Structures are given as C-alpha cells and as structure tokens.
C-alpha cells in the first residue's frame, strides 16, 4: 500500500525511534494519548497490587466509570475553552446553580407552584430542558462578555464563580437541601436501576463495534476516492479489531461483570457513562469534523490568522461558552440525580477537577492544542488516583496533595517532551512519583 | 503626489487606490495616497518603519477600512470593509507573520475560513487534502507534508502554503508583506521564482519590503512612502538604488520625476 500515493511520511526518517513514531503516526494514533493510556495502565496496576487485589474488580471499575462521568463531560467542553486561549472558572458554581434550579423545577415549581403534583412522566424532561436552556443562556452571557465586552475570561468567570454560587443561596432559603427528586430523573445518575442492564449493554457494545469499523472503512474509502495515502489494510483491520476488543472486554468485565448488590443481576453500563459516551462522540465530531471545531483550534493557534482568514472569532469564542454551559447542565443532572438531592455546595471545586482533567489530558494553556478524548482520559486518570487512594485508606488532604503533584508533573513532562528534552521529562517523572509515593506512604490511616 | 496612474499602455489597472486616508486617533497613518497596479506587474512599496505601507495595504485587504478615499478594481469602485470583501474582489494577502495557524496542517490552513464541506456540513478533509496536493504540485513539487501541523515545516514551505492559499482561490491581486524576511538564501530564491511565475500568470503583486535588493530584483515600479505620504512612484529601470534610498530617507523625489 506504500506506493506513489504515500505523501505524508517525511523523508529522512532514520533511527528506530523515528521509525516507531512514523509507524504510530501512520496508524493515526497520537503519541501523547498512547502515553496517557500507558500511564493509566501503570496507575491501575500499581493500585491493584498495593490494595491487595481490590482495584481491578468489576465493582470498583464500575464505580470509577460512574464517578468519572460528570467531570469528564465538563472536561470535553473545557478543552475547547482552553484551546481557544480562554478559561472557565465558573463551571463548579454554574453546575451547582443549574442543579439547584433543576431540583427546584421538579420538587417545587411543577408540583407546588403550578399545582400539578409529583410523579408525572414529563417532569424529568422539563427539568432537564430547563437546565440545558438556562446553562446555554448563562454560558452565552459569560461568553458575550468575554468575546464582545473584551473582559478577560479569567475575570468574567471568576465573577461567575461568585455570582452563580451566591444565587444558589438566594434561591434556597438558608441553604436548604432539595430532596427527593423525580424517580425518572434519578436514573440519569446511575444507581441500581439507572443502567442499561445486560442485553442492552451488549447491544451498545455491538453498535459501538459496528460504528468504529464503519468509520474506519468510510474514511478509507473517502481517501481512496481522492487518491490520497491510506493506511496499510492490516493496520486498519488491526485498529478495528483492537477497538472492538476493548469495547467488548470493557462491557464484559465492568458493566455486565458487576452484579448489583440490590437486584443481584448484572447492572450493565450505567446511564451516566452512556451520557458520557454520547457527549464524547458528539464533541469529537464537533471539534474535528465541523467548521466550529476547526475555527476554535485556528483561534488558539494564531488568533490573527483566524481573523484574517475571515473567521468570526468572537462568535466562535461565545459558542464555546454556550457549549460549556450546556455541558454543565448535563453534569449537574448527573450529580443531583446521583445524590437524589440538590445541595448548596454541589459542584464546589469541580472547576479545578475539570481544568485538571483537561490539562492532564494534554490540553495546552498556550492554546491550539488539546483533544476531547485526552480530556476524558485525564478525568479517568484523576478519578483513578482518588479512588485508588481511597482504597488504600489515604486521608483526603493527602489525596489532594498527590493529585496536585501529579497535575504539575504531567504538565512538566508534556512541556519537556514538546521541546525534545527527554532527560528533563524523565527527571520530572521521577521526582513526581517519589513525592507522590512519600505522601501516599505517610498518609495511610 | 503625482502618481503614474493610467500610463501609456492605456489599459485599466487591476487596482487603483485614490486619495486613501487612515488615521489612528490624531495620527495620520496614511495621508492621501494614490497607487495603481496592473496585471502581471509588481509594485514595490518601500519606506521606513511607520511610513504607512502596511496600513495602506491593510485597507486594500479589508483588515482595516480607510477613513476616506476610493478603491477601484478593474475600473469599478468597490467597498472593502472586511477580509471577505477583499477576497470576493480577488485580493489576497500573504502576511509577514504568514498568518498561518501553526497547529493546523497545510490543507486546513489553505482552506481556513473557506472550508470545503460534505453534504452534511462536515469538513471534507479528503477533498481539501486532495486540492492542496494539486495546488502544491504546481507551486512547490518538493512539498510533501500535507498532514503535519505547519509549525514543523521550514520557512520556505510555510511561505508556499501561504502563497498556495492565494493562488488556489484565483487571486488576481496579491499583497505580499516582507515575503522573504524570515527565509534563508535558498528559500528566498524559491519565493522569487514563485513571484516570477505568478507574474507570468497575469497576477498583479504589491510587494512590501525593506530589502532594496529584493525590490530592484522583483519590482517593475517602486512606490516610496514616508510618514503616511507618498513620496513618489518611480520606474525601476529609470532610477538608481541611491536615488530610491534618498527617497526613503530624505523623502525627496528624484529631480524631474517627483
């Protein structure tokens, strides 16, 4: 297959490392993400051994998947914000406010204010729709001030951070907790009934396999039609087989493997995870295959070039904040549904987790660089660290220290590798791991 | 302010800028300048820093509208308020800092702001890559790295991406801002070849340059600006480098031609 149409393998690729890199790039696998998956595998293995075999269990991995979902959903939006050289510090507060409003809709406004009572089939939809629309609106308000008002995103969202949190307390007199939520709405959060169950999980897996294979095939056909270089057939087949294996093994081991402690049946893929999958696919499509995503990256790479290319940069920036608001609403639904209540401190510190997930996932604050899937992986890495340390009975302050060290370390490694300083990267890795190990060892209760 | 518009050839110029004025606050960045450009001609725009060359070209490119004055394309008065307006009149710019998004590949940059899309409205990356390959074949046959971010390309290759962008969209009028400033000797030669080829295709080029050698090698006419005003426009074959330098530094047009 490497004939005259091969145009993207540069000349002078000598040395084993260069050849390995050429091979990786020919498969379309990003070296950074390959590194992250490796890191994740190492973290999982380490915790599995340290915890005496408690980490890689269906139960733990199922919980991990559910706990990662809400942060990961928001992290996909944060990637686009950071890529376009902005930041959103308000997501935790916005999530809290939207969650509170959605809870108000189903516990107060529909049943009492409108006198319609509880338990109607449409309540969850109305609540979710109100949350999503409000999220988009508030995102648009912040985005417009950033894009058209010329106030730096850091300041606007710092203001939002205070305002949205304050509004929660203004709405819920003396910070009362709103509970219980609508029964159908609660399914969004997972829990015993909030998952696909056995056969539907398998169906999802098979659909996933078909979708992955089809997309690989279609991209191949498209490139063929234009006489562009295509990957060797064996590589494409291997990729498809590998992806299918990961999907099916994941479902077998995590989703179906975990028997619900209540129903004694295989739980299947939890709804928050289904939501995360849908959001991830949608966001990848938006960022890679639509003009909007291309423009976000162009703005991050060179704002002047984007402007001179005739791109409406302000509108694009505003849209990223609208999208972020919508994703906050989705995460707010997941979190309140999971808690079966809305509390005033919902989402506190979430902004830090979301930004960390995006950054651990390879998003650069210099702008222009970042991937949606990287951010989702970043969220899983963060949650793995927390959940693993929980299993090791490490106190919460020590957990924070470790996550902080790992965050700085991962960005340090990334920065060093970007300018080709492999030794500095190794040093950063070593220092980070030693510090983390000391904290973990001394933080055990 | 005596410009060489409508000379002996009698053809309608590709572009005519008449009495253009731009001011920033109280500062007159461009103060009543008139210029013209014919098909297949290179007009160099020279002058010290802050002479107003770039600002003048920005008005033609739609990056900064003029406060007053008139622009004619093929003899027709046009309004150019945005980069899009400029493009619809066949005016393309190749900026000094290249105006490429470093993190995006050649095809993405070539089509930036004018992406090809499929029926569903998704980006048609394959079609864009294919078109990029075709236009690059014409300009720079050695170019290969269609799928890597342009930041990993050499200066000459990046310059060819920027030029390919203009050529692909059938530019008739090209504005080149210091096209060789960031390049080594071999790459400079490559860009010069490219300019000769564009000329032979009948494209008119405004060349902003600091390099007096470039100017004498490439330009047909030379317009000198100083403090927002046009000192004069001269035929390259009728002046010496010293005379042009005197215009740039002292703001004096050579005797009998100013």
pLDDT of residue B7: 42
How confident is the model over A292-298, as a mean pLDDT?
97
Is A239 buried (19+), middle (13-18) or exposed (0-12) by CB count in 10 A? middle
> What's the N-to-C CA distance of chain A in angstroms?
59
B-chain residue closest to A370, CA distance? B103
Within the 261-290 window of chain A, which residues sit less than 8 Å (CB to CB) from chain B? 285, 288-290
Cβ atoms B34, B1 nearer than 8 A = yes
**pLDDT on residue A15:** 58
- What is the pLDDT at residue A22? 60
Question: What's residue B10's pLDDT?
Answer: 53
- Please report the pLDDT score of residue B2 as a whole number: 42
Give the span between the Cα atoms of A272 and A289, in whole angstroms.
Answer: 25
Residue B69's H or E segment, with its range, is: strand B68-73
Do the Cβ atoms of A227 and B97 come within 8 Å? Answer: no
Over residues B159-171, mean pLDDT:
85
Q: Is the peptide bond before A2 cis (omega within 30 degrees of 0)?
A: no
How far is the C-alpha of A220 from the C-alpha of A230, rounded, in Å? 6
Under 8 Å CB pairs connecting chains A and B tally to: 94
pLDDT digits over A300-330, tens only? Answer: 999 988 988 889 999 999 999 999 999 999 9
Q: What is the mean pLDDT of chain B?
A: 85
- Helices (H), ranges, A51-90: 58-83
Quick one: closest CA in B to A83, which residue? B103
Confidence of residue A35 (pLDDT cuts 50, 70, 90): confident
B contacts of A223 (beta carbons < 8 Å): 126, 129
Do A228 and B129 make contact, defined as CB atoms within 8 angstroms? yes
CB B101 within 8 A of CB A302: yes
Interface of B with A in 20-49 (CB under 8 A): none
Q: In this model, does residue B228 exceed pLDDT 80?
A: yes
CA distance readout (Å), A246 to A205, A209, A249, A380, B144 = 10, 10, 5, 16, 35
pLDDT at res. A331: 98
Residues of A in contact with B122 (CB under 8 A): 285, 289-290
Q: Which residues of A touch B146 (CB under 8 A)?
A: 7-8
CB contact under 8 Å between B126 and A226, yes or no, is yes
Q: Give tens-digit pLDDT for A331-342.
A: 999 999 999 999
Share of chain A above pLDDT 70, in %: 93
> Is the per-residue pLDDT at B63 higher than 70?
yes
Q: What is the pLDDT of residues B71-105, one digit of tens each?
A: 999 999 999 998 889 989 999 888 766 679 989 99
Which residues is B123 bridged to in the sheet?
Answer: B117
Q: Are A148 and A314 in contact (CB under 8 A)?
A: yes
Which of A142-156, A165-179, B139-153 is predicted most confidently? A142-156
Phi, psi of A112 (to 5 degrees): -100, -55
Cβ within 8 Å, pair B99-A300: no
Per CB-CB distance under 8 Å, the chain B contacts of A228 are 126, 129-130, 133
Task: Judge contact between B3 and B19, C-beta under 8 A.
Answer: no
On the question of pLDDT at A12 being above 50, the answer is no
**Helices A313-339 and A123-147, interaxial angle, to 10°?**
150
- Give tens-digit pLDDT for A357-385: 999 999 999 999 999 999 999 999 999 99
> Pick the residue with more confidence: A149 or A443?
A149
Quote the minimal CA–CA distance from B85 to chain A in Å: 9
Kindly list the residues from chain A whose CB atom is less than 8 angstroms away from the CB atom of residue B99. Answer: 302, 304-305, 308-309
Lowest mean pLDDT among A223-232, A334-343, B120-129: A223-232
For residue A175, pLDDT beyond 50: yes
Mean pLDDT of B22-45: 91
User: What pLDDT sits at residue B194?
Assistant: 82
Of A331, A410, A338, A349, residue with least CA distance to A378: A410
Strands B15-24 and B68-73: antiparallel
pLDDT range class, residue A99, cuts 50, 70, 90: very high
Per-residue pLDDT, B162: 85
Give the pLDDT of residue B96. 66
Q: What is the pLDDT of residue A46?
A: 92
- Measure in Å the smallest separation between the Cα of A224 and chain B Cα atoms: 9
Q: Residue A164 in 3-state DSSP?
A: helix
């Amino acid at each position: 297959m490497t004939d005259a149409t091969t145009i993207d393998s540069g000349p002078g690729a000598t040395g084993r490392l260069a050849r390995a890199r050429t091979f990786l790039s020919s498969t379309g696998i990003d070296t950074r993400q390959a590194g992250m998956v490796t890191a994740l595998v190492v973290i999982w293995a380490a915790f599995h051994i340290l915890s005496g075999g408690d980490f890689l269990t269906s139960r733990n991995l199922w919980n991990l998947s559910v706990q990662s979902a809400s942060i990961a959903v928001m992290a996909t939006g944060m990637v686009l914000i950071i890529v376009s050289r902005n930041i959103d510090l308000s997501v935790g507060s916005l999530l809290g406010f939207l969650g509170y409003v959605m809870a108000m809709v189903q516990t107060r406004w529909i049943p009492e204010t409108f006198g319609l009572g509880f338990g109607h089939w449409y309540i969850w939809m109305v609540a979710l729709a109100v949350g999503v629309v409000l999220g988009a609106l508030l995102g648009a308000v912040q985005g417009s001030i950033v894009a058209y008002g010329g106030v730096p995103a850091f300041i606007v969202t710092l203001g939002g951070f205070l305002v949205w949190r304050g509004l929660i307390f203004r709405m819920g007199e003396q910070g009362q907790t709103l509970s219980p939520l609508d029964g159908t709405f609660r399914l969004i959060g997972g829990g015993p009934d909030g998952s696909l169950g056995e056969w539907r999980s398998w169906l999802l897996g098979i659909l996933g396999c078909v979708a992955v294979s089809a997309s690989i095939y279609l991209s191949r056909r498209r490139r063929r039609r234009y006489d562009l270089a295509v990957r060797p057939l064996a590589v494409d087949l291997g990729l498809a087989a590998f992806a299918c294996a990961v999907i099916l093994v994941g479902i077998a081991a995590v989703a179906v493997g975990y028997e619900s402690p209540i129903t004694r049946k295989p739980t299947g893929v939890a709804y928050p995870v289904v939501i995360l999958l849908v959001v991830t696919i949608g966001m990848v499509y938006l960022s890679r295959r639509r003009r909007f995503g291309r423009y976000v990256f162009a703005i991050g790479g060179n704002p002047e070039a984007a402007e001179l290319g005739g791109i409406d940069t302000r509108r694009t920036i505003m849209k990223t904040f609208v999208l972020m608001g919508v994703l906050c609403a989705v995460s707010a639904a997941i979190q309140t549904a999971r808690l079966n209540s809305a509390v005033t401190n919902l989402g506190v510190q979430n902004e830090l987790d979301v930004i960390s997930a995006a950054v651990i996932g390879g998003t650069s604050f210099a702008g222009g660089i970042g991937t949606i899937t990287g951010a989702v992986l970043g969220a899983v890495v963060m949650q793995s660290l927390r959940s693993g340390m929980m299993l090791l009975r490490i106190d919460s302050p020590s957990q924070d220290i470790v996550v902080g060290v790992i965050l700085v370390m991962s960005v340090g490694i990334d920065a060093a590798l970007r300018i080709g300083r492999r030794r500095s990267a190794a040093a950063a890795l070593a220092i980070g791991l030693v510090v983390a190990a000391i904290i973990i060892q001394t933080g055990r209760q | 302010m005596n410009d060489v518009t409508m000379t002996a050839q009698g053809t309608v110029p590709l572009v005519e800028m008449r009495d253009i004025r731009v001011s920033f606050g109280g500062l007159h960045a461009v103060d009543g300048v008139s210029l013209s450009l014919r098909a297949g001609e290179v007009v160099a725009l020279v002058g010290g820093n802050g002479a107003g060359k770039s600002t003048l070209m920005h008005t033609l490119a739609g990056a900064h509208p003029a406060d007053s004055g008139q622009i004619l394309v093929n003899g027709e008065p046009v309004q150019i308020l945005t980069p899009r307006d400029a493009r619809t009149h066949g005016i393309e710019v190749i900026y000094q800092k290249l105006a490429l998004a470093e993190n995006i590949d050649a095809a993405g940059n070539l089509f930036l702001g004018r992406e090809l899309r499929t029926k569903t409205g998704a980006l048609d990356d394959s079609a864009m890559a294919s078109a990029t390959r075709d236009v690059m074949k014409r300009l720079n046959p050695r170019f290969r790295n269609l799928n890597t971010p342009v930041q990993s390309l050499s200066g000459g290759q990046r310059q060819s991406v920027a030029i390919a962008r203009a050529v692909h969209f059938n530019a008739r009028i090209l504005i080149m801002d210091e096209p060789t400033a960031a390049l080594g000797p071999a790459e400079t030669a490559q860009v010069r070849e490219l300019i000769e080829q564009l000329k032979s295709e009948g494209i008119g080029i405004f060349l902003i340059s600091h390099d007096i050698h470039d100017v004498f090698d490439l330009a047909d006419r030379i317009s000198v600006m100083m403090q927002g005003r046009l000192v004069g426009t001269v035929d390259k074959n009728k002046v010496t480098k010293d005379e042009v330098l005197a215009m740039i530094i002292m703001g004096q047009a050579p005797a009998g031609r100013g």
